[in-house]
Structure 1
Amino acid sequence: MATDGNTAEQDETVESPSLGAKLKQELREWASTLAVFVPVFLLFSGLAYEQRVIPSESMVPTLQVTDRVAVAKFAYGYDRYSLPFSMGRYIPLPEGRIFASTPTRGDVVVFEHPHTGRVMIKRLIGLPGDQVQLIGEQLFLNGEPVETEYLRTVRFVPHNDVAIGTSHEWRETIGDKSWITHRQEKGGRGDNTDLFIVPEGHVFMMGDNRDNSLDSRFPSGHCPAIDGVIDQAGCQPRVPANLASIGFVPMDHLIGRAETVLVSFHKCKLQDEEPCRKRVWKGL
């Protein structure tokens, strides 16, 4: 009985950990967790998939502002632009791409703007050697009009606006891929272009929202046209870099292929009781 009493008395005298000790223990546990989680996250986002948030309306109706998009980093191989957080611009890595593969016309591609370093997302229209031109809104590829079908006219409220806009929806098809574009009335500055011949090692990009996308159609990011033909890359922009179009995009600037809209916080603002398209887990 005496022994049991002494044990109980000793148990009662054990001191509880101080607040400082508890905080140190909690911090050690968090540090251990982060030491494992951060490298795994960086490895996954650098080699497999990463999430990107759509900041503008240049790819409407395919992508809306606030869409969270899953980007396959392995789609075209890896180079310095594949690193997460654009770290490749600050780390002295060798040029070139490993496990390189050629994109497909119609892919929705995430890439770095050749003149500004901003991360962009557009649709790939032209591969090296392709001839691309727009005449009266009609897209021509290698001298042939791209298959185009009118779908409907929609009225909607643009992002961060209150005025109602109107767009005509057209389906374009190249090979086994098709997508929907938004066009407004004819006469926009991107409706008629020079003839672009895509140089080796580059691609030609366009936004699906044809009247709200500063893409490869516009000359400000290109070398000067000669007799109405633009077939060179690597010139300095004709305007301040932050105002320049993307021009021809080098293959080594490609980050990955956008594959799925994971979730969107975009609020549908179509008018005239038009139905809204699916915005969650939507393949591209």
Structure 2
Amino acid sequence: MSQPATVTGALRQSFDWTGVSGRAVYATAFAAQILCLGAALIFAPTLPVMWVIVAVATFVFLGQMRRRMRDAGWRGGWMWVAMVPYLGFIPQLILLFRRSAGTPRRGENTTLRKVGWAVALAFCLLLAGRSSFYAPFWIPTGSMAPTLVHNDYLFSGSRFVTVARGDVVVFRHPVNGTDFVKRVIGLGGDTVQMVAGRVVLNGTTLPQTPAADFAETMERQGAYGTYPRCRNAPVALGETCLKTAAVETLPSGRSYTVLDIRPERTDDTEVVTVPDGHMFVLGDNRDNSADSRMPQAAGGIGTVPLENVKGRVRRVVFSLDGDPTRLFRRVP
């Protein structure tokens, strides 16, 4: 049968599983599905319609895959194997190279097939390395402002790193297993305490240098649609919300900006001795962060096992809000 020359042609053919499709058409459908899925993983938090696009692309691909199987002389049972998560990639990839049953097609467009193979291989490598070498993360709240703001999209680096004080890390919550991102303040053997909103690390108060106020617009933010808390409250919608900023410096000389709104009960805590193999973490937006200042028994994070670290954050990739100043922004 003739191959579709348009998207609508591919859609029509996807309803006809009795027909056949060559490698070029199949490779195009395969690459389109992978690219749509990748785009959805990035943009779906703010653009849910991406999942509708993924569903359409998947439907087209399944139809073209069944037609490709008929063209390659495969039995219908292979369709079920090809739909098994992860394992199904094996027959799907083989179909990119499998010749048509009987006389090989002549003049078939091999360029599209090669493109499809390259996209598939890259996607498989990303899946294989996701848990070990990188992990995508979307910032849903402002607990790490101004370092990371809501709707920042980033990749955390390999989990096979030595965590140091001052690192911003993505980790698994030790109780509920959800992903969090915070800054490491203390490691095994360290003592950490908050006194009047200042960090006391191993008996020494970390110095803070005043910085320009952090300003943001009073509006709903992040995944939960919450309003920011402001030092200059009350603030009307659309007006400027201010927080006091200061540059905090660790004994290693590493510096970063932290925020303060007003006195809170977490500004003063008991001394915590960090167990070996654990870390004490804080959000940079100190009055708007659930972190190690609250023990797990009180609903907080407490100290976190180092084995829960999923990766270290070095740069923001981009902002889902489209803010150009966030593009490849370095994380201090």
User: So what's the TM-score if we normalise by structure 2?
Assistant: 0.59
- How much has 1:213 moved relative to structure 2? 0.3
Match in the other structure for 1:229: none
Give the one of 260, 263, 273 matched to 1:183: 260
Partner of 1:278: 325
Displacement of 1:167: 0.5
What corresponds to 2:249 in structure 1? 173
- 1:195/1:36 CA distance change after superposition, 3 Å: same
**Aligned counterpart in structure 1 of residue 127 of structure 2, from 21, 42, 48:** 42
Specify the alignment match of 1:120 in structure 2.
180
2:293 matched residue in structure 1:
217
1:211 counterpart SS class? helix
Structure 1 residue 147, shift from structure 2 partner: 1.7
Q: Deviation of residue 189 (structure 1)?
A: 1.7
Q: Aligned pair count?
A: 215
2:3–2:21 CA contact under 8 A, matched in 1:
no
Question: Larger relative CO (CA 8 A, sep 6+): 1 or 2?
Answer: 1
The structural deviation recorded for 1:70 is 2.1
Is 1:106 equivalent to 2:189 in the alignment?
no
Specify the alignment match of 1:255 in structure 2: 310
Rounded to whole Å, the distance in 2 between the matches of 1:140 and 1:202 is 18
Tell me if the contact between 2:212 and 2:245 (Cα under 8 Å) persists in the aligned partners. Answer: yes
Q: Select the structure that is richer in strand.
A: 1
CA contact (8 A) 2:132 2:160 kept: no
Supply the distance in 1 between the matched residues of 2:150 and 2:180 (Cα, whole angstroms): 13
Please state which structure has a larger fraction of its residues in helix.
Answer: 2
CA positional deviation for 1:144: 0.4
TM-score (norm 1): 0.69
How far is the alpha carbon of 1:179 from its aligned partner?
A: 0.4
1:17 and 1:173 map into 2 onto residues whose CA distance is 64
**Partners in 2 of 1:251 and 1:44 — Cα distance?**
20
2:148 matched residue in structure 1: 63
One-letter amino acid of the structure 1 residue matched with residue 152 of structure 2: D
The offset of 1:68, in angstroms, is 1.1
Contact 2:133 2:159 in 1 (8 A): yes
- Secondary structure (helix, strand or coil) at the match of 1:282 reads coil
Structure 1: give runs of 5+ residues left out of the alignment. Answer: 1-14, 77-100, 222-236, 239-243, 269-276
Give the drift of 1:54: 0.7
Stretches of structure 2 lacking an aligned partner (at least 5 in a row): 5-12, 31-91, 94-116, 228-236
CA offsets per residue over residues 156-180 of structure 1, 9 Å max, x none?
2252433643200010111131100
Alpha-carbon spacing, 1:22–1:169, altered in 2? closer, same or farther (3 Å): farther
Is residue 150–residue 171 contact of structure 1 (8 Å, CA) maintained in 2? Answer: yes
Compared CA separation, residues 28 and 127, structure 1 to 2 (3 A): same
* Distance in 2 of aligned mates of 1:40 and 1:267: 28
Aligned to 1:265: 320
Deviation at 1:37, TM superposition (A): 4.0
Partners of 2:247 and 2:255 within 8 A in 1: yes
2:137 corresponding residue in structure 1:
52
Paired amino acid for 1:204: F
CA change 1:75–1:178 in 2 (3 A) is: farther
Deviations, residues 217-264 of structure 1 (Å, cap 9, x unaligned): 113x1xxxxxxxxxxxxxxx34xxxxx211110111111101101111
After superposition, the C-alpha distances for 1:20-68 in whole angstroms (9 at most, x for unaligned) are 4355754476232476344311123233233211111110000011111
Cα RMSD after superposing both structures:
2.4
In structure 1, distance between residues paired with 2:133 and 2:311? 10
Give the % identical residues: 30
Look up the SS of the partner of 2:266 in the other structure.
coil
Preserved contact between residue 109 and residue 254 of structure 1 (Cα < 8 Å): yes
